[in-house]
Structure 1
């Protein structure tokens, strides 16, 4: 019984680590998308910007209009808050299981 507890605990820790790493990379991607949009807006305001650069910036801005955060089947977004939500659910389940174990 003790071995099974450590196997399940290790499995949950592994999943939490992978989830956190994925969320960190997703958040970095979202930040880069925002910075790209800001840079394009600044370049388009610059009078020394060439027509090709302005056209590229317009295309980038049009692509960013339809951009939305990555979601898991539309249930929740994969961003920096996801590991916190996962930890809340995990601790809630652990508390309920402990209550049943000590009844």
Structure 2
């Protein structure tokens, strides 16, 4: 189930970042130049492909962090509720 949530949330963030690029954190210019030189991009189309890769990677990382945080928080709440029920049953 987590995998499905992660994939759906990744593509949601991808489309959000592509349609509203102001939400996307920008790479420093030196890092952007390094990445373009690393991939050997020579045309605008190749640079656009690198941008898609950057957006998908960033969306995936954000999705993994958000989904993991939600499931961790749910686990925390569930354990606190069960501990409270156990303490209430002892009295």
TM-score by length of 2: 0.49
Q: Which has the higher contact order (CA 8 A, sep 6+)?
A: 2
Which has more helix, going by share of residues?
Answer: 2
TM-score by length of 1: 0.44
